[in-house]
């Protein structure tokens, strides 16, 4: 089971250098968890790119439709998060770790704890470091699990 954050999920929608490696990795997994946080963050990033002029409205709508399609596509499983994710994030942050990460990244790590997932796919180096400090396994694009 693998938790995918928005930095990796976006690579399945946008064509970027790591996109093919992410597709291959996802295809090799039995179960890929997409939290409501990852889904929301991905929608926000898609909209921000459209509003910034990176692509037009028709392409934005196609990206959004593709994300919705993932709900009915294996190996994806979309999961809601309980309100306790915030308390979990606070505990992780206050737990004495000297590894800092941004709020949304910390919430992804708390989501993994809440959803009982021990492996993370991300393309955020800072988040990966924080995940490892918590004992999570990290998968990044073409790299092997660490």
How do residues 49-61 score in pLDDT, each as one tens digit?
A: 999 999 999 999 9
Domains of the chain: 2-139 (3.40.50.1010)
How do residues 16-48 score in pLDDT, each as one tens digit?
A: 999 999 999 999 999 999 999 999 999 999 999
HSE toward the beta carbon, residue 130, CA cutoff 13 A: 25
What is the pLDDT, as a whole number, of residue 145?
44
What is the pLDDT, as a whole number, of residue 146?
45
Whether residue 61 contacts residue 13, with contact meaning beta carbons closer than 8 Å, is answered with: no
What is the pLDDT, as a whole number, of residue 84?
98
129 three-class SS: helix
How do residues 71-128 score in pLDDT, each as one tens digit?
A: 999 999 999 999 999 999 999 999 866 788 999 999 999 999 999 999 999 999 999 9
Partnered with residue 3 across adjacent β-strands are 33, 120
- The length of the chain in residues reads 146
């Amino acid at each position: 089971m693998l938790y995918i954050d928005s930095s990796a999920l976006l690579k399945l929608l946008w064509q970027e250098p790591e996109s093919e490696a992410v597709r291959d990795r996802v295809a090799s997994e039995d179960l890929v968890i997409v939290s409501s946080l990852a889904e929301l963050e991905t929608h926000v990033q898609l909209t921000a790119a459209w509003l910034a002029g990176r692509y037009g409205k028709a392409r934005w709508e196609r990206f959004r439709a593709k994300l919705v399609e993932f709900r009915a596509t294996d190996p994806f499983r979309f999961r809601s998060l309980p309100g306790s994710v915030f308390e979990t994030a606070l505990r992780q942050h206050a737990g004495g770790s000297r590894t800092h990460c941004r709020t949304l990244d910390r919430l992804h790590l708390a989501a993994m704890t809440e959803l009982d997932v021990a492996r993370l796919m991300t393309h955020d180096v800072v988040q990966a470091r924080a995940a490892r400090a918590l004992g999570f396994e990290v998968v990044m694009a073409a790299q092997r699990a660490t």
